[in-house]
Amino acid sequence: MEDWLYIGLFVFISIALPAVAIFLAGLLSPKKPNPIKNTSYECGIETVGPSWVQFKAQYYVYALVFLVFDVETIFLYPWAVAYNQLTLFGVLEAVLFILILLSGLLYAWKKGALEWM
Amino acid sequence: MSFWTDPIAIIENLISGWLAGLGMGEGWITFILAFLGAAVYALVVMLFVVLLIWVERKILGRFQDRLGPNRIGPWGIFQTIADMLKIFTKEYITPNGVDKVPYNLAPMLAVAGVLAVWAVIPLGATIFGANLNVGVLYVVAIGALGELGIILAGWSSRNKYATLGGFRAVALLVSYEVPLVVTLLIPVLFSGSMGMNDIVFAQKSMWYIVLAPVAALIFLITSIAENGRAPFDLTEADSEIVAGFNVEYSGLKFGMYYVADFMHTFTIAFLFATLWLGGWLGPWAEKYPMLGIFYTTFKAWFIYFTILWLRGSLPRFRIDQMINLNWKVLTPLALVMLMLTAVVNHLIPAGMLVVRILALLALNGALLFVTGKLLDRFAGQTKRVVVALEPRPVARPEPVATESGTGV
Query: How do residues B357-366 score in pLDDT, each as one tens digit?
Result: 888 888 888 8
* Cα separation, B323 vs B326, whole angstroms: 5
Domain count along chain A: 1
What number is the average pLDDT over the span B255-281?
A: 87
As a whole-number percent, the residues of chain B with pLDDT over 70 amount to: 93
**Contact, B231 vs B316, CB < 8 A?**
yes
* Cα separation, A10 vs B117, whole angstroms: 9
Lowest mean pLDDT segment, chosen from A55-69, B8-22, B38-52, B186-200: B8-22
Higher pLDDT, A58 or B181: B181
* Cα separation, B283 vs B268, whole angstroms: 24
Let me know if B157 is exposed, middle or buried by CB neighbors in 10 A (0-12, 13-18, 19+).
Answer: buried
A38 dihedral zone (left: phi>0; alpha: psi -120 to 50; beta)? alpha
Residue B42 with chain A: CB contacts under 8 Å:
10, 13-14, 17
Lowest mean pLDDT segment, chosen from A44-58, B59-73, B309-323: A44-58
Let me know if A106 is exposed, middle or buried by CB neighbors in 10 A (0-12, 13-18, 19+).
Answer: exposed
What number is the average pLDDT over the span B252-275?
A: 88
Q: Is residue A13 within 8 angstroms of chain B, CB to CB?
A: yes
Residue B382 predicted with pLDDT over 70: no
pLDDT of residue B381: 66
* Cα separation, B113 vs B132, whole angstroms: 17
pLDDT of residue B219: 92
Of A28, A40, A59, the CB nearest to B171: A59
Q: Which of A14, A27, A52 to substitute to test the interface with B, most B CBs within 10 Å?
A: A14
What number is the average pLDDT over the span B378-397?
A: 69
Residue B103 predicted with pLDDT over 70: yes
**A residues 75..114 contacting B (CB < 8 A):** 76-77, 80-86, 88, 91-92, 94-95, 98-99, 101-102, 105, 109, 114
Domain for residue A116, yes or no?
Answer: no
Domain for residue A97, yes or no?
Answer: yes
Query: How distant, in Å, are the alpha carbons of A29, B88, B153 from that of B252?
Result: 10, 6, 14
pLDDT of residue A114: 77
* Predicted confidence band of residue A115 (pLDDT cuts 50, 70, 90): confident
B295: closest CA of chain A, how far (Å)? 24
Higher pLDDT, B262 or B378: B262
Domain for residue A117, yes or no?
Answer: no
* Cα separation, A34 vs A17, whole angstroms: 30
What number is the average pLDDT over the span B352-356?
A: 81
Q: How far apart are the first and last CA of chain A?
A: 50
Q: B94-98, B198-202, B269-273, B386-390 — which one is most confidently predicted on average? A: B269-273
Q: Which of A6, A68, A85 to substitute to test the interface with B, most B CBs within 10 Å?
A: A6
The torsion angles phi and psi of A80, rounded to 5 degrees, stand at -65, -35
The torsion angles phi and psi of A76, rounded to 5 degrees, stand at -80, -15
CA atoms within 13 Å, Cβ hemisphere of B88 = 11
What is the model's pTM? Answer: 0.86
Spatial CA neighbour of B245 closest among B102, B117, B112, B140: B102
* Cα separation, B201 vs B196, whole angstroms: 9
**Contact, B139 vs B304, CB < 8 A?**
no
* Cα separation, A117 vs A112, whole angstroms: 10
Q: What is the mean pLDDT of chain B?
A: 82
Spatial CA neighbour of B169 closest among B241, B250, B272: B241
* Predicted confidence band of residue B408 (pLDDT cuts 50, 70, 90): very low
* Predicted confidence band of residue B407 (pLDDT cuts 50, 70, 90): very low
Domain for residue A93, yes or no?
Answer: yes
A80: closest CA of chain B, how far (Å)? 4
Q: What is the pLDDT of residues A78-92, one digit of tens each?
A: 888 888 888 888 888
| Range of the structural domain that residue A11 is part of | 2-110
Higher pLDDT, B129 or B329: B329
Domain for residue A23, yes or no?
Answer: yes
Q: Cβ contacts of residue B358 below 8 Å, gap of 6+?
A: none
Residue B246 predicted with pLDDT over 70: yes
pLDDT of residue B384: 63
**Contact, B261 vs B228, CB < 8 A?**
yes
Using DSSP's 3-state secondary structure scheme, residue A81 falls into helix
**CATH label of the domain that carries residue A25:** 1.20.58.1610
Residue B5 predicted with pLDDT over 70: no
pLDDT of residue B385: 61
Higher pLDDT, A112 or A95: A95
Q: Alpha helices, DSSP H only, in chain A? A: 2-28, 57-74, 76-82, 88-110
Domain for residue A50, yes or no?
Answer: yes
Q: What is the pLDDT of residues B295-343, one digit of tens each?
A: 888 888 889 999 988 888 888 888 878 888 888 888 889 989 988 888 8
Domain for residue A13, yes or no?
Answer: yes
Written in H, E and C, the secondary structure of chain B is: CCCCCCHHHHHHHHHHHHHHHCCCCHHHHHHHHHHHHHHHHHHHHHHHHHHHHHHHHHHHHHHCCCCCCCCCCHHHCCHHHHHHHHHHCCCCCCCCCCCHHHHHHHHHHHHHHHHHHHHHCCCCCCCCCCCCCCHHHHHHHHHHHHHHHHHHHHHHCCCHHHHHHHHHHHHHHCCCHHHHHHHHHHHHHHHCCCCHHHHHHHCCCCCHHHHCHHHHHHHHHHHHHHHCCCCCCHHHCHHHHCCHHHCCCCHHHHHHHHHHHHHHHHHHHHHHHHHHCCCCCCCCCCCCHHHHHHHHHHHHHHHHHHHHHHHHHCCCCCHHHHHHHHHHHHHHHHHHHHHHHHHHHHHCCCCCHHHHHHHHHHHHHHHHHHHHHHHHHHHHHCCCCCCCCCCCCCCCCCCCCCCCCCCC
Of A21, A32, A51, the CB nearest to B159: A51
B216: closest CA of chain A, how far (Å)? 17
* Cα separation, B281 vs B283, whole angstroms: 7
Domain for residue A6, yes or no?
Answer: yes
